[in-house]
Amino acid sequence: MNFRKYLFILIPYSWLVALFLVPFIIVVKMSLSDGVMAIPPYTPYLTLTEGWAGITNFFTNLDFENFIFLTEDNLYWIAYLSSLKIAAISTVITLLVGYPIAYGMANASNEWRPTLIMLVILPFWTSFLIRIYSWMGILSQEGFLNQFLLWLGIIDQPLTLLNTNIAVYIGIVYTYLPFMILPIYASLEKLDLSLLEAAKDLGCNRTQSFWLVTVPLSKAGIIAGCFLVFIPVIGEFVIPSLLGGADTLMIGTILWQEFFANRDWPVASAVAVILLLILMVPIILFQRSEQKQREAE
């Protein structure tokens, strides 16, 4: 009996070890080595064939200079902070846009709900890259949005949207909106309607009962949605590089530059390790809130 239980646990854990822990250890190892022009472009290179000498040699050659290097140039901190800022702002916008949609879906009649969920999920059927590419077409100077606004007479000069931070925000909010809507919808759908009736009986008007009953009860959904948006957006690379301008500084693009332009795999790995550490903070907070939620239930 016990054996079977462990076997069941073993499968997911071995996945975690193979797909997360092992790659992470490789990245950490790389971040502690030196860059050279060779194949692969870093050293020391752990050679097990040399036996114990190889291992001691490997450890004596390790140093933290790549991490020290990151503290010497403020570019990296500015890029981390800028990524955090972009992630925070887009999370708030996504929440403001996503909550009303989720609320509307949860309050729709039963026959409409599957269709509405379908409409939220539908964009996933098209490649993410193609959807971002179409935003390039929509936001460009000669693009659909400018043409439409010109036609309406709202503007008389085409707006510069593409290659600005505004375009990055639009792209991020568009892409991550379903990740906000679905968890909020899931928590709103479970909402016990009799609680709202009780609030009404106790003298709440609709606005008051929304803020005092609906929002607190959907808190778990809001938190889950915010983390599902915030965490991946920090490391986002595709959206800023396609829609952003040269002044859109995100850690994903810095990482690309270290890896490809400088061929400095060790520094690139150091940037990635620190990014992971930064991400651990919200992830731990997320788990705490999940745990509290479970304890409350």
Partner 1 sequence: MNKIIVSLIATLMVSTSVAQAGEVRVYNWSDYIDESLIKKFEQETGDKLIYDVFDTNELLETKLLAGGSGYDVVVPSASFLQRQINIGVFQKLDYAKLSNASNLWSIIKDHTNKYDPDNAYSINYMWGTTGIGINVDKVKEVLGDDAPVNSLALIFDPKNMKKLAACGVHLLDAPAEMIPAALKYIGEDPDSKDLEVIAKVEPIFAAIRPYVTKFHSSEYVNALANGDICVAFGYSGDILQSRDRAAEADNGVKVTYNIASEGAVMWFDQMAIPADAPNPEGAHKFLNFMLDANNMATASNYVYYANGNLASQKLLEKEVLEDEGIYPTDATLNNLFTTTAYGSKVQRKVTRMWTKIKSGT
Is 249 a binding residue for partner 1 by CB under 8 A? The answer is yes
* Placement of tokens 């590089």 in the chain: 241
> Which two three-digit tokens encode residue 38?
């060779």
133 binds partner 1 (CB under 8 A): yes
Quickly list H helices, 140-164: 144-152
Closer residue to partner 1 in complex, CB, 214/248: 248
Shortest distance in whole angstroms from residue 72 CB to partner 1: 11
Residue closer to partner 1 by CB (options 18, 284) is 18
Cα dihedral sign, 273-276-278-284? negative
Within 10 Å of residue 120's Cβ, how many Cβ atoms?
17
- Does 74 bind partner 1 (CB under 8 A)? Our answer is yes
Q: Whose Cβ is closer to partner 1: residue 105's or residue 162's? A: 162
Q: Token pair for residue 224? A: 């889950």
Site string for partner 1, 165-204 (x = CB under 8 A): ----------------------------------------
Nearer CB in complex with partner 1: 199/234 = 234
Q: Which two tokens stand for residue 137?
A: 């077409």
247 near partner 1, rule: CB under 8 A: yes
Eight-state DSSP code of residue 249: -
Q: Is 73 in the site for partner 1 (CB under 8 A)?
A: yes
| Coarse DSSP helix, strand, coil percentages of the chain, rounded to the nearest 5 percent | 80, 0, 20
Burial of 67 (0-12, 13-18, 19+ CB in 10 A): middle
Q: Could you tell me if 31 and 273 are in contact, meaning their C-beta atoms sit under 8 angstroms apart?
A: yes
State which of residues 54, 232, 235, 245 lies at the interface with partner 1 (CB under 8 A). 245
Measured from the CB of residue 158, what is the shortest distance to partner 1 in angstroms? 10
Residue of the chain from 10, 26, 96, 129 that contacts partner 1 (CB under 8 A): 129
Please give the residue ranges that form the binding site for partner 1 (CB under 8 A). Answer: 35, 37-41, 73-75, 78-79, 129, 133, 140-142, 160, 163, 238, 241-242, 245-249, 254, 257, 259-264
